[in-house]
Every structure is written in C-alpha cells, then in structure tokens.
C-alpha cells in the first residue's frame, strides 16, 4: 500500500547549500572573530540526515570543494551519499562567478569536481554557483558540458526580490564581494522561466529554485526561519502545491545552526533566524517537511534529470 501511494505522489526536490561560516562572515563583514567552518559537517550534517530520514527525503547537497580538506568532512560527504542523497558541485572556493575569467570559472568547477568525484567514487551530475548568479553564461555551460554534467541550478526567477537582496548584501559586505553587485542582466533573469527546462542549444537542464506563484518570492527555508512562526511557508505552500509541477525547495546548512548551541560568535546574530533557539528552527523544519511529505515524494535532482526531466517523470 505504501509503495502504491508513493507512486501516485508528485515529486519534489530539496536542495541544501553548504556555504560555510567564513562565507557568511564575508557577506556580513564580520572580522576578527573565531570561526569553526567544520561545524557544518560535524553538527549540521547529522541533523539534516536525521531530519531527512524521518520524512523519507532524498536531497541534493551542494558542496564547496574547499571544505573537504579534512578526513572528517570527507567522511561526512560520503555519509551523505551513502544514505541515498546526491552530492553536487558548489565550486571550489565559493567565489561569485560574476567577473571571473573563463580560466577562473573552469578552475572553480573542475577542481571541485575532482575533489567530490574522488570522495564519492563516481561522477558529479549537478552544479550551482555561489550567490545565485541567476543565469550561467554560455562559457560556464560549455565547461559543465565538457565535464559530463547533467544540469545547472543557478536560476532563481524571483522578480526583484533577489535583486534587492543582492543590493543589501553587497552594501553590507562593504562592497568587498563584487559578485554580489547587481546588474541589469540580473533583473532580466528574474523574469526567466520558473520551471525545470532544457537549456537551449545545450545538453544541460536548468533547475530553477521554485518561486511562489503570484508573489514570485523564493520557496526558501531562510524566509521561514527569519520569522517567529511558519507564516511564510503556510501562505505559500498551497500555491506551490496547486501550480508547480516539480517544486524545488532550497535551504542552507546555516538554517540548522544554533547561535548558542553551536557556540557561534554573537556577530552571526545578523543572519536571518539566528536569534531563535535551534529547537524552534528544528520544529519549523518538521512542520515544513511533515506538511510536504503528505503530498510529495522527495527525490534528488539527478534522478529527475536522468529520467529526461519533468517529461520523463
């Protein structure tokens, strides 16, 4: 009976961006504070795996190659894969692609690919650049194709929401992260397709982060974490369920860190949701995934594309 019910459910993708604390420190211009970047792998990965196991979720983790230097972190990445989740490429150093030369883009993609494929013992299928570059240029797409990738997941067509967010973060970072500087092309990309689609003239698929119908804001955990309740999810989810064929729900490892519980420097309180106790954030995720598990089968991005995209599902 359970198998029959699973087959009738629509599919949903859960994506996890594993940006480390130093990445956030640069965005928020936090300096001269103690930072343990491995806390995402030692503390957050077990929490996520436990949460995903509870709701039978197979997720896609976008891993930064630089963070796989220690054997402990490499074991955590293997554990992710061993439990049936997908490990995808989030570049080598989490450097924004805007302004990088072709040679630098190739280095960021291919060096991370070597590290991750070595850990996994198999090829990597998916890629996402840092800071959501909205729409990859042809040069980057060609590099991914040459390396056998199946999909890119850069796009988040949230109208002016992300343009405004990038502006705020660019200013907050003291203009030090040039890749966050908004451009006209960013605004244009915000009006792009909001469904999984085949990139024209390419073998790759594009997997955009889902935006809420009507509101056109991202289906993003951080926006629920930022408030004291589940209002953002509760208002948006019925629209997603009604109008989106294969939703892509995105979260960050940072969403399951506790300021006190993980002994983070108080400077990180500026990140959305960090003033809330870890228990409250965990309860929010249980509410989100408990609600969605009634309607969806959670699968990896690679499994959807390997079957030919939405048409093959």
β-bridge pairing 60-63 and 10-17? parallel
pLDDT, position 101: 92
Give the dihedral sign, CA 19/113/92/94: negative
pLDDT, position 41: 98
| Res 233 pLDDT > 50 | yes
User: Could you tell me the CA-to-CA distances from 119 to 42, 63, 102, 210, 310 in Å, in that order?
Assistant: 17, 12, 26, 30, 29
- 267 forms bridges with which residues in the sheet? none
Q: Are residues 105 and 67 in contact, defined by beta-carbon separation less than 8 angstroms? A: no
Q: Which of 186, 212, 208 is nearest to 196 (CA)?
A: 208
Q: Are residues 39 and 23 in contact, defined by beta-carbon separation less than 8 angstroms? A: no
Domain enclosing residue 138, as ranges: 2-312
Spatial separation of the C-alpha atoms in residues 147 and 113, rounded to whole Å: 9
pLDDT, position 4: 47
Domains in the chain, number: 1
| DSSP for residue 211 | B
* Domain harbouring 8, CATH code: 3.20.20.370
168-227 pLDDT, tens digit per residue, is 776 776 666 666 666 776 677 777 888 999 999 999 999 999 999 988 899 999 999 988
250-282 pLDDT, tens digit per residue, is 999 999 999 999 999 999 999 989 999 999 999
Q: Which of 219, 289, 271 is nearest to 249 (CA)?
A: 219
94-152 pLDDT, tens digit per residue, is 998 877 899 999 999 999 999 999 999 999 999 999 876 667 889 999 999 999 999 99
Q: Which of 131, 186, 189 is nearest to 163 (CA)?
A: 186
68-86 pLDDT, tens digit per residue, is 999 999 999 999 999 999 9
Q: What angle do CA 295, 252, 23 make, to 5 degrees?
A: 165
Q: The pTM is what?
A: 0.93
pLDDT, position 80: 98
Spatial separation of the C-alpha atoms in residues 286 and 308, rounded to whole Å: 31
11-51 pLDDT, tens digit per residue, is 999 999 999 999 999 888 899 999 999 999 999 999 999 99
């Amino acid at each position: 009976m359970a198998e029959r019910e699973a087959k009738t459910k629509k599919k949903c993708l859960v994506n996890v961006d594993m940006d480390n604390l130093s990445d956030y420190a640069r965005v928020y211009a936090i300096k001269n504070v103690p930072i343990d970047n491995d806390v995402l792998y030692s503390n957050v990965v077990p929490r996520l795996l436990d949460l995903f196991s509870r709701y039978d979720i197979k997720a896609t983790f976008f891993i930064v190659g630089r963070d796989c230097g220690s054997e402990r972190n490499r074991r955590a990445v293997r554990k992710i894969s061993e439990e049936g989740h997908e490990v995808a490429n989030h570049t080598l150093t989490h450097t924004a692609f805007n302004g990088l030369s072709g040679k630098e883009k190739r280095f960021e993609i291919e060096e991370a690919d070597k590290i991750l494929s070595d850990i996994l013992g198999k090829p990597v299928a998916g890629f996402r650049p840092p800071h959501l570059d909205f729409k990859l240029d042809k040069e980057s797409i060609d590099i991914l194709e040459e390396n056998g990738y199946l999909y890119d997941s850069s796009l988040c067509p949230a109208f002016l929401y992300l343009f405004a967010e990038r502006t705020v973060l660019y200013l907050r970072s003291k203009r030090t992260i040039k890749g966050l500087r908004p451009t006209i092309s960013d605004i244009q990309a915000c009006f792009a397709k909001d469904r999984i689609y085949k990139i024209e003239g390419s073998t790759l698929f594009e997997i955009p982060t889902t935006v809420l119908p009507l509101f056109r804001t991202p289906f993003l955990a951080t926006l629920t974490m930022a408030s004291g309740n589940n209002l953002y999810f509760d208002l948006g989810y019925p629209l997603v369920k009604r109008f989106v064929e294969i939703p892509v729900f995105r979260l960050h490892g940072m969403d399951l860190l506790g300021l006190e519980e993980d002994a983070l420097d108080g400077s990180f309180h500026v990140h959305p949701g960090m003033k809330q106790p870890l228990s409250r954030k965990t309860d929010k995720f249980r509410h989100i995934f408990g609600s969605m598990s009634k309607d969806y089968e959670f699968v990896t991005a690679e499994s959807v594309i390997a079957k030919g995209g939405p048409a093959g599902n």
